Structure 1
Amino acid sequence: MTLTYLDAAALRDAIDERTAVAVLEEALRTDVDPEHDSPRLFSDAPAGQFLLMPTAGKRYSGVKLATIAPDNPAAGKPKIQGVYTLFDSGTLSPLILMDGAELTLTRTPATTALAVKHLLAADPRRRGDAARRAGAVVVFGAGPQAWRHILAVHAVAPIDSVAIVGRTPEKADALVRRCMELGLDARPGSAADVAGADVVLCVSSASEPLFDANLVQPHAVVAAVGSHGLDAREIDPELARRADVVVEGRASAMRESGDLIPARSVEEWQEHGLTNLAELVHGELARRADRPALFTGVGMSWEDLAVATAVYEGQLP
């Protein structure tokens, strides 16, 4: 058996940001329940960890096998690498292989953009065009995920201005230039810019909060998706307690979200209640006018499957 392999460049050409968001949205509107998704499986590897992400669907199923090597960037190599295999659910025959890191780099920003789009629309203070625009955006992070998040959010909720907050000034300046080439009003920023932000995107590898929760205005939307694990967080626990919170799935968040667990225990969150992405897409979140909104994600297997399916079917004659 010979399988087609889509490398990073081919996968990037196969689906754009707006389409990826639409694919995830349609999956949530139709047959995906995030609470039934398979958990991610971690296993130690010599230079880091193996990450296995399986999920099953009616027509297609898939598995992403990724490696996480924390020391790789210092050696000029990717931190995350891997491969995705799509299967026919009826026969379990493999259908196509794809670059796993690029698939992650596509579906993660698309998931965030989907959440931002619907959280903006759910805000009772926003009317007309304001409900569809991201407005003033602050981005924490200056790597590939930061750039792709800007592209994805701008595709579905146009950005008016963007401030880049990066640990390395050179990387932040380079990302500012890329944003300016996109036609955006862009500049280097600082944590203080959160006070004037409509949307805050946290796509860093930080293990400690990036800004003071008191800076976040009641109308703002914050997305924290960069750090994973119960011992890492990008936001102040006070923000999680104060905000209207949306997660990809409640079960996955309770297993892995360090942005939430320090704020409340699992039992307290279960009592308090969390909205998942499917519920958000179906209009079941009523945002409160005196509170900001927070989306926090850990990455889920159904997202890979939805995007991989769209790519595969787009490759068929």
Structure 2
Amino acid sequence: MSLSYFDAEAVRAALPWHTAVTALHNALRQGVDPEQDSPRIFSPAPGGEFLLMPTTGSRYSGLKALTVAPENPARGLQKIQGIYLLIDSETLSPLATMDGNELTAIRTPAVTLLAVSQMLAAAPGGEPTQPKLLIFGAGVQALNHFRAANVLLPQATDFAVLGQRPERVQALIRQLNTEGIQVRPAEPSEVSDADIILCTTSSRTPLFDGNSVAPGTIVAAIGQHGLDAREVDAALVRRSDVVVESRTAAWREAGDLIPARSVSEWQSIQPANLQDLVNGKLRRNATKPCLYNGVGMAWEDLVMATVVYEGGSGR
């Protein structure tokens, strides 16, 4: 059996930002329920772990198989590597494989910007006319979130980045400048002045004081998953309107949320999920920040892989 393979370039070509976000939006409006998605599976591997993300759909199903090797960056290799396998749901026959890293690199910002755009639209006082965007992190997710925001938030006039390693921040800025995207280094004090804050880091501890975030500010924490990892503190969580990718996934993996409130508390609150968000069910409070927390889900990968398979060009 010969399978088509979509390399990173083919995945990227098939998924411009508007296409990726529209596909996710349409999937949610047409009945994809994030609460029914399969949980990810972790398994030990030499020098790290395997991460498997299976999911099913009416026409296609899929499996993203990743390896996580914490020592790889010191070797000049990527920490996370993987491949995506697309499957026919009726026959369970494999249809195609594609670059799992590039699929994730596009899927994650697309989901974040879908959430942010919907949260902006739900602002009780109307969307800010020239929002200031601050991104924490200087890795591939920060890079791609800036790229996505440049296309999907055309009204934003100020892009700033804050990272722990100045050399990586400067490298990120240089790369984006070559692409015509103007980004400047930020100071920690700018948290209180930002309209949109995106957290795209591997930090295990909160990045800033949640009390410093202004009412009405949108914060998206998407860089980490696992109950022992967090990018935002309990102060921000408790004072915010909260939106999650999926409530079931959040209870399993959202370390940003669970230390702030117990699972039973969250279950009584029932925060809006992405499906609620695109269906206009979020009611924001003008006196509160609005926090989106995402851990990354398999249904999103399947939506992206479907677009690549049906519209892309593999080999």
- TM-score between the two structures when normalised by the length of structure 2: 0.96
Q: In the alignment, what sits opposite 1:36?
A: 36
2:150–2:181 CA contact under 8 A, matched in 1: no
> How many angstroms apart in 2 are the aligned matches of 1:177 and 1:202?
20
* 2:148 paired residue among 152, 156, 169: 152
How far the C-alpha of 1:184 sits from its partner, in A, is 4.3
Provide, for residues 257-298 of structure 1, a one-character-per-residue CA deviation record: whole Å limited to 9, x for no partner.
000001000001111221100000000001001001001110
How far the C-alpha of 1:31 sits from its partner, in A, is 2.3
SS for the counterpart of 2:157 is strand
Provide, for residues 199-257 of structure 1, a one-character-per-residue CA deviation record: whole Å limited to 9, x for no partner.
00100000000011111111110000112110110001111111111110000000000
> How many angstroms apart in 2 are the aligned matches of 1:77 and 1:20?
27
Question: Are positions 1:250 and 2:247 aligned together?
Answer: yes
1:139–1:202 CA contact under 8 A, matched in 2: yes
How far the C-alpha of 1:17 sits from its partner, in A, is 1.3
Identity between Structure 1 and Structure 2 (%): 54
Q: In the alignment, what sits opposite 1:72?
A: 72
Higher RCO structure, 1 or 2 (CA under 8 Å, sep 6+): 2
Question: Are positions 1:143 and 2:148 aligned together?
Answer: no
Question: Are positions 1:173 and 2:167 aligned together?
Answer: no
How far the C-alpha of 1:300 sits from its partner, in A, is 0.3
> How many angstroms apart in 1 are the aligned matches of 2:268 and 2:31?
27
Q: Which runs of 5+ in 2 are unaligned?
A: none
| Code of the aligned partner of 1:261 | I
Q: In the alignment, what sits opposite 2:299?
A: 302
Matches within 5 A, 1:190-205: 190-205=187-202
2:247–2:270 CA contact under 8 A, matched in 1: no
> How many angstroms apart in 2 are the aligned matches of 1:3 and 1:157?
37
1:160–1:184 CA contact under 8 A, matched in 2: no
SS for the counterpart of 2:53 is strand
Matches within 5 A, 1:14-33: 14-33=14-33
Taking a change above 3 Å as real, the CA distance of residues 286 and 50 of structure 1, as seen in their structure-2 partners, is same
SS for the counterpart of 1:223 is strand
Extract structure 1 runs of 4+ deviating beyond 3 A: 178-185
Of 300-309 and 6-15, deviating more is 6-15
Count of aligned residue pairs for this structure pair:
313
How far the C-alpha of 1:186 sits from its partner, in A, is 2.2
SS for the counterpart of 1:66 is strand
Question: Are positions 1:208 and 2:199 aligned together?
Answer: no
SS for the counterpart of 1:285 is coil
| Code of the aligned partner of 2:120 | L
Provide, for residues 102-126 of structure 1, a one-character-per-residue CA deviation record: whole Å limited to 9, x for no partner.
1111101100010000001100112
Provide, for residues 25-80 of structure 1, a one-character-per-residue CA deviation record: whole Å limited to 9, x for no partner.
11001020000000011111111110111111011110111111111111110011
Provide, for residues 75-97 of structure 1, a one-character-per-residue CA deviation record: whole Å limited to 9, x for no partner.
11001111101111111111110
2:14–2:307 CA contact under 8 A, matched in 1: no
> How many angstroms apart in 1 are the aligned matches of 2:98 and 2:107?
13
Matches within 5 A, 1:253-292: 253-292=250-289
| Code of the aligned partner of 2:83 | V
Of 187-196 and 290-299, deviating more is 187-196
Q: Which runs of 5+ in 1 are unaligned?
A: none
1:160–1:185 CA contact under 8 A, matched in 2: no
Q: In the alignment, what sits opposite 1:47?
A: 47
Question: Are positions 1:241 and 2:238 aligned together?
Answer: yes
How far the C-alpha of 1:160 sits from its partner, in A, is 1.1
How far the C-alpha of 1:308 sits from its partner, in A, is 0.3
> How many angstroms apart in 1 are the aligned matches of 2:189 and 2:88?
50
> How many angstroms apart in 2 are the aligned matches of 1:194 and 1:154?
20
- TM-score between the two structures when normalised by the length of structure 1: 0.95
Question: What do you get for the CA RMSD once the two structures are aligned?
Answer: 1.5
Provide, for residues 5-30 of structure 1, a one-character-per-residue CA deviation record: whole Å limited to 9, x for no partner.
11112211221111111110110010
| Code of the aligned partner of 1:154 | N
